[in-house]
A = this chain, B = another copy of it.
Amino acid sequence: MSTSRGEADGAAIRGLLESWAEAVRAKDYSGILARHSADILMFDLPPPMESKGIEAYRETWDLFFSAQPDPIDFDVQHMNVVAGEDVAFVTALMRCAERGTGGRRTVLEFRLTVGLRKVSGEWVVVHEHHSVPSA
């Protein structure tokens, strides 16, 4: 669905997010944070409502890793990139794990929207929105 002008940008953004997901699986904080803006706005799956700035964003990963069973699952099931010249967003269906009844490992599917800006020729993540439907 990327514009033809944006095909190279679409591929760059797709690669950026695949590398980010790989860093999450490796609990590699420098990789997780590598392409994120100092003023990122995070709407995470668990509370709070929002986390502003890279330090608060980093802490959402502390919470994530404390709750996830090892090894970490964090996989892109389906991704769509809408890339313009200098702003882009990505929609994705994602999968991780959670501890179910009796501590058993179960699959958790969630939705992800990512907002990006191109800064000095490089795509930077300025927003993430993770969620599951509310029962």
Contact = CB atoms under 8 A, between A and B. Distances in A.
10 contacts: A46-B135, A47-B135, A49-B111, A49-B133, A82-B117, A85-B87, A89-B113, A111-B131, A113-B115, A131-B134
A134 B89 CA distance: 23
A84 interface: yes
B89 A49 contact: no
Interface of A: 3, 41, 43-50, 80, 82-89, 91, 93, 109, 111, 113, 115, 117, 126-127, 129, 131-135
A49 B86 CA distance: 29
Give this chain's copy count. Answer: 2
Contact of A45 (B47, B127, B133): B133
Contacts of A129: 91, 111, 113, 129, 131
Given A84-B84, A115-B82, A109 B45 contact: no
